[in-house]
């Protein structure tokens, strides 16, 4: 870090600051209130907001017949967005906008649920026949008989008589599969078929019907659009051109704001029979009218005869995810079935990428906006869809706060050279008004630290509701103190001004911004590229426990065939060693690893295109270390339209992998546990590591000779105190993200020239370490973090507590302050153990005094050790506020503000609103509040 970057680190620009997801009640807003809330967000340290038209909540002065005037894209909505943009732009506060109202994506341009541009499901009916059949096509039990449908295909296949049952309902002979419509045996007008099987065996007759699924976007009562066709994507962008950007002045504001269009996770259902969430799993496939033609063009063969094999019960609904399962009607060769489905899923992926994401991104870019997209939720190959996304986004909810899960997209971020990897963070069921900044139970910083350690560098908080002040009709039920919560009072969180912890938000947002500033420096340099080819919406078998690689100190990304086919995916050199993508992540080795089957425990090898094996051979010839685990590959990815062609390609793949195994830079091991030893044999070591196993997770970024390390203690129980060995030459510094200061470290060096850095991290604490050839002495503040030998410990027990309790006012949006003053003669206690504070939330100010004599010669080294508290705190020593204290470690050096004689300390603690809501919500459980301690002065 050059010295000119120190000040931007201390006071980051808005683009480095976290953003807020902002839930808005349609256009039922007031421009002055929009202005006030944006200014509050900016003052609280947020750099932008993501605007979501949630749904319209009418105000008392609007008649029902006029509600349509306040919808997405209406004149009223445009007027509110004009006010928002005119407020935000001068503040440098960037606004992002969802591509349509709420989610899944819909547009007022498509309001008829029978429109072909709506999302489709493919249904099937089946009938067992022996001998000639002339009759009506079999009906589907999942289709809506009252609505239009379209006959897509009619096929047949012989029932398999083998001992093994593959299909859940029936097993079919692969070679017998036939397209009866192609043979001219189906009368589409009368929906009848006349066909005689070629033998006297039992056959299964299938009819496949396409129907729009009826899934609605509740925000505007519009059907969800098809995510696989250009016509649907162009309906969205066309509406923006006509309605949202139709006014030249408003268009200028959008383009000057230069925000993002945002799309949430792809929450599509192939069928709405039974509901949106948790419905009974059904055998209905996601579909689009152009799929068979696109499949034939992209995969080189006709999917029609093999359609029975794509129907995995529940896979295309939000309730179930298991792409590894067998279909209801499957062919006798499981290997072929899975490759046929691979081809189907890959076609969906490419159509989503080319016909949907690319169209929206190119439109956004033409208007000086970028596309931020959560491209998961469908059975697709995740990284392939990211090729057309400006800013990939993950989420703490869907990926279960898993560092391993976040790496499913980090490979695409790094290999595609994307500046930002965003995270929707903070959505936790059951923690509405209860989620804390610093706690161990889904504390927001715990969630963010795990994301940062995995490559994330932009936080979007979930979220904040608009402060509506009036309502009419049945919406009144939403209006309870402390205000309307559009995501529901049990789903976290409301991070706006309605909670006491909001008063301390600036210190937290500054901390996040400084971390994000450093995590965008230069480029990520990652130890390992782990090959992964898998189809999943969100892989629900993700674990939060440290992986084998993390336990050994390695950083890693998952990489896929689509990423390894990039022009930049070639062998090069970095740090004097062979690497993959030297100008990007500079992976030191590739691991072809096994993976856990979805919803299972068995590990198996991934599928691999034949071209991938050819590329691996070239990497090995260039000296790039490669570790093969188990078989290395289950086979090629594609069915190739014919089982014999598939098996021939499988043989060729095995031969190439056999050649690979004996090459000098390659190691072959039987299981994942042996990979670490193989990497050591290949002299592939982590860029940041400890001598013994530790809970540390390390991320490295490199910028023109400067090495930045994000080091995270992932343990929630134990402190780390020891040494970490990192790559880089020069001097070592810690960049304090809490207050923006820089201080030097007394580092040693190894025989190989690596740096040995002493580090102490509390549980869930992180540090930013810089190794640089530059002399930063002009920027360094004096800092001493060594333990005090033979310390004198003064226990601070006598406290006065003054609590500003937040209580309901006369209307749902009014909060009143009730002040309670207590003498804590029995010591510090949780508020739930103090009768006067059992159901209270707010700001607690704890005051105590103590005397230091002139004989206390180590006053200048004094440390205040603050024990347990919830949630955030501030300190004053003798009337002087101490700025930006570490909210995780809670050990504060206060010696410079102490004096001989009487000293006064005040600790201000902010709580959530949870306990104050308990009287009106008996289902709420009490939450620890206040300062519990112990509080000690260490001299």
What are the tens digits of pLDDT across the range 1-20? 666 688 999 999 999 999 99
Res 489: pLDDT: 86
Res 441: pLDDT: 87
Residues 460 and 680: their CA atoms lie apart, in Å, by 39
The three-state secondary structure class of 907 is: strand
Listed range (396-410, 529-543, 674-688) with the worst mean pLDDT: 529-543
Which residues, in sequence order, are CB contacts of 547 under 8 Å at separation 6+? Answer: 403, 404
DSSP, res 123: E
More confident residue, 688 or 812: 688
**Total residues found in the chain within this entry:** 939
Residues 432 and 877: their CA atoms lie apart, in Å, by 34
What percent of the chain shows pLDDT beyond 90? Answer: 85
Residue of 729, 722, 780, 740 whose CA lies nearest to 514:
740
- State the CATH architecture for 3-103+374-518: Alpha-Beta Barrel (3.20)
Q: 461: burial class by Cβ within 10 Å (0-12, 13-18, 19+)?
A: buried
Strand 120-130 and strand 285-287: pairing? antiparallel
Residues 877 and 907: their CA atoms lie apart, in Å, by 9
| Preceding peptide of 482 cis, ω within 30° | yes
Residues 889 and 709: their CA atoms lie apart, in Å, by 19
What b-and-e string marks burial along 64-102, b requiring 16 or more CB atoms within 10 Å of the CB? Answer: eeeeeebbbbbebbbebbbbbbbbbeeeebbbbbbbbbb
Residues 593 and 631: their CA atoms lie apart, in Å, by 9
Q: 816: burial class by Cβ within 10 Å (0-12, 13-18, 19+)?
A: exposed
Residues 381 and 535: their CA atoms lie apart, in Å, by 5
End-to-end Cα, the chain, rounded Å: 34
The three-state secondary structure class of 783 is: coil
Residues 815 and 502: their CA atoms lie apart, in Å, by 14
Going by CATH, does the domain composed of 793-938 fall within 2.60.120.260?
Answer: yes
- State the CATH architecture for 688-772: Sandwich (2.60)
Find out whether 905 and 864 touch, Cβ atoms under 8 Å.
yes
DSSP, res 831: G
pLDDT grade, residue 41 (50/70/90)? very high
Percent helix, strand, coil in the chain (nearest 5)? Answer: 25, 30, 45
322 pLDDT above the threshold of 90: no
Find out whether 44 and 37 touch, Cβ atoms under 8 Å.
no
Res 412: pLDDT: 98
The three-state secondary structure class of 257 is: helix
Mean pLDDT confidence for 382-407: 95
Listed range (280-289, 335-344, 591-600) with the worst mean pLDDT: 591-600
Residues 260 and 25: their CA atoms lie apart, in Å, by 20
Residues 53 and 476: their CA atoms lie apart, in Å, by 19
Q: Residue 153's beta-bridge partner residues?
A: 208
Residue of 83, 31, 74 whose CA lies nearest to 53:
74
- Residue 129 gets the label, from left (phi > 0), alpha (psi -120 to 50) or beta, of beta
Residues 447 and 495: their CA atoms lie apart, in Å, by 15
DSSP, res 117: T
Mean pLDDT confidence for 549-561: 97
Residue of 722, 665, 715, 642 whose CA lies nearest to 688:
722
DSSP, res 355: I
Residues 638 and 215: their CA atoms lie apart, in Å, by 32
Residues 676 and 680: their CA atoms lie apart, in Å, by 6
The three-state secondary structure class of 34 is: helix
The angle that helices 444-453 and 505-518 make with each other, rounded to 10 degrees, is: 0
855 pLDDT above the threshold of 80: no
Residues 457 and 453: their CA atoms lie apart, in Å, by 9
Mean pLDDT confidence for 279-285: 93
The three-state secondary structure class of 749 is: strand
pLDDT grade, residue 476 (50/70/90)? confident
539 pLDDT above the threshold of 60: no
Res 731: pLDDT: 94
Find out whether 32 and 112 touch, Cβ atoms under 8 Å.
no
Res 4: pLDDT: 64
Residues 211 and 223: their CA atoms lie apart, in Å, by 13
Q: What are 195's two structure tokens?
A: 């066909």
pLDDT grade, residue 857 (50/70/90)? confident
Q: 531: burial class by Cβ within 10 Å (0-12, 13-18, 19+)?
A: buried
Sequence spans of domains, the chain: 3-103+374-518, 120-215+280-334, 523-681, 688-772, 793-938
Find out whether 177 and 163 touch, Cβ atoms under 8 Å.
no
Res 783: pLDDT: 64
766-772 β-sheet, strand order: 523-525, 696-703, 706-713, 766-772, 731-735, 742-745
| Preceding peptide of 934 cis, ω within 30° | yes
């Amino acid at each position: 870090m050059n010295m000119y970057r120190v000040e931007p680190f201390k006071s980051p620009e808005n683009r480095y600051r976290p953003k807020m997801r902002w839930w808005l009640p349609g256009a039922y807003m007031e421009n002055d209130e929009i202005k006030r809330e944006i200014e509050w967000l900016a003052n609280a340290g947020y750099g932008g907001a993501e605007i979501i038209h949630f749904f319209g909540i009418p105000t008392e002065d609007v008649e029902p017949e006029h509600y349509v005037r306040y919808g997405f894209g209406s004149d009223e909505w445009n007027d509110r967005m004009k006010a928002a943009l005119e407020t935000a732009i001068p503040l440098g506060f960037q606004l992002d906008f969802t591509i349509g109202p709420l989610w899944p994506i819909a547009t007022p341009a498509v309001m008829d649920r029978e429109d072909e541009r709506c999302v489709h499901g493919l249904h099937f009916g089946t009938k067992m026949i022996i001998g000639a059949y002339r009759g009506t096509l079999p009906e589907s039990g999942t289709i809506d008989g009252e609505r239009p449908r379209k006959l897509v295909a009619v096929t047949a296949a012989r029932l398999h008589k083998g001992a093994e049952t593959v299909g859940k309902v029936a097993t079919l002979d692969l070679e017998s599969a036939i397209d009866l419509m192609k043979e001219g045996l189906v009368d589409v007008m009368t929906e009848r078929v006349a066909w005689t099987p070629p033998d006297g065996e039992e056959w299964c007759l299938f009819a496949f019907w396409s129907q729009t699924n009826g899934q609605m976007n509740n925000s505007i009562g519009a059907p969800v659009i098809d995510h696989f066709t250009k016509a649907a994507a162009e309906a969205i962008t066309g509406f923006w051109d006509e309605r949202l950007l139709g006014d030249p002045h408003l268009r200028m504001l959008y383009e000057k704001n230069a925000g993002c269009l945002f799309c949430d996770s792809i929450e599509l259902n192939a069928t709405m029979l039974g509901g949106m969430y948790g419905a009974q799993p059904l055998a209905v496939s996601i579909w689009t009218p152009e799929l068979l033609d696109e499949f034939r063009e992209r995969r080189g063969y006709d999917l029609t005869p093999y359609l029975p094999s794509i129907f995995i019960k529940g896979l295309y609904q939000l309730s179930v995810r298991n792409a590894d399962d067998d279909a209801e009607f499957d062919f006798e060769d499981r290997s072929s079935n899975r490759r046929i489905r691979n081809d189907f899923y890959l076609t969906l992926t490419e159509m989503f990428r080319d016909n949907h994401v690319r169209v929206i991104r190119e439109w956004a870019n033409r208007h000086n906006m970028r596309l931020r997209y959560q491209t998961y939720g469908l059975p697709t190959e995740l990284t392939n869809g990211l090729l057309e996304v400006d800013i990939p986004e993950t989420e703490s909810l869907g990926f279960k706060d898993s560092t391993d899960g976040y790496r499913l997209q980090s490979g695409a971020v790094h290999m595609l050279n994307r500046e930002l990897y965003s995270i929707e963070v903070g959505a936790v069921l059951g923690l509405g008004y209860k989620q804390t900044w610093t706690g161990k139970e889904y504390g927001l910083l715990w969630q963010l630290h795990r994301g940062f350690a995995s490559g994330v560098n932009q936080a979007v908080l979930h979220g904040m509701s608009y402060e509506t002040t009036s309502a009419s009709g049945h919406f009144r039920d939403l209006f309870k103190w402390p205000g309307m919560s559009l995501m529901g009072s049990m789903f976290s969180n409301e991070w706006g001004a309605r909670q006491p912890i909001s008063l301390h938000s600036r210190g937290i947002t500054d901390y996040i911004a400084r971390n994000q500033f450093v995590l965008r420096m230069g480029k990520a340099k990652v130890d390992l590229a782990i090959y992964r080819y898998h189809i999943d919406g969100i892989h629900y078998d993700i674990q939060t426990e440290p992986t084998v690689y993390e336990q050994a100190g390695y950083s890693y990304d998952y990489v896929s065939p689509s990423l390894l086919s990039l022009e930049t995916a070639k062998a090069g050199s970095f740090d004097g060693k062979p690497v993959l993508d030297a100008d990007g992540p500079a992976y030191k080795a590739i691991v072809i690893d096994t993976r856990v089957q979805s919803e299972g425990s068995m590990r198996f090898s991934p599928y691999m295109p034949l071209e991938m094996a050819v590329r691996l051979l070239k990497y090995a010839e260039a000296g790039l270390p490669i570790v093969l685990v188990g078989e290395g590959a289950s086979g090629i990815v594609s069915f190739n339209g014919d089982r014999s062609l598939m098996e021939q390609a499988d043989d060729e793949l095995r031969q190439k992998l056999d050649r690979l195994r004996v090459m000098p830079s390659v190691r072959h091991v039987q299981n994942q546990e042996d990979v670490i030893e193989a990497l050591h044999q290949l002299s592939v070591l982590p860029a940041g590591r400890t001598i013994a196993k530790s809970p540390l997770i390390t991320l490295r970024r490199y910028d023109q000779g400067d090495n930045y390390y994000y080091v995270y203690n992932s343990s929630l129980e134990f402190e780390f105190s020891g040494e970490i060995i990192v790559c880089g030459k020069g001097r070592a510094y810690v960049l304090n993200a809490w207050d923006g200061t820089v201080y030097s470290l007394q580092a040693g060096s190894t025989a190989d020239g690596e740096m040995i850095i002493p580090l102490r991290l509390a549980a869930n604490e992180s540090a930013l370490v810089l190794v640089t050839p530059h002399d930063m002495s002009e920027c360094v503040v004096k800092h001493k973090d060594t333990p005090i030998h033979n310390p004198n410990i003064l226990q601070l027990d006598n406290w006065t507590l003054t609590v500003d309790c937040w209580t309901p006012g006369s209307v749902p949006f009014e909060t009143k302050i009730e002040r309670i003053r207590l003498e804590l003669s029995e010591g510090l206690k949780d508020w739930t153990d103090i009768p006067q504070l059992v159901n209270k939330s707010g700001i607690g100010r704890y005051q105590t005094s103590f005397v230091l004599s002139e004989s206390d010669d180590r006053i200048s080294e004094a440390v205040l050790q603050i024990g347990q508290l919830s949630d955030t705190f501030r300190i004053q020593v003798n009337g002087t506020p101490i700025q930006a204290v570490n909210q995780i470690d809670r050990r504060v050096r206060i010696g410079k503000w102490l004096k001989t004689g009487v000293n006064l300390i005040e600790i201000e603690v902010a709580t959530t609103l949870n306990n104050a809501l308990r009287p009106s919500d008996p289902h709420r459980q009490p939450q620890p509040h206040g300062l519990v301690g112990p509080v000690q002065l260490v001299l």
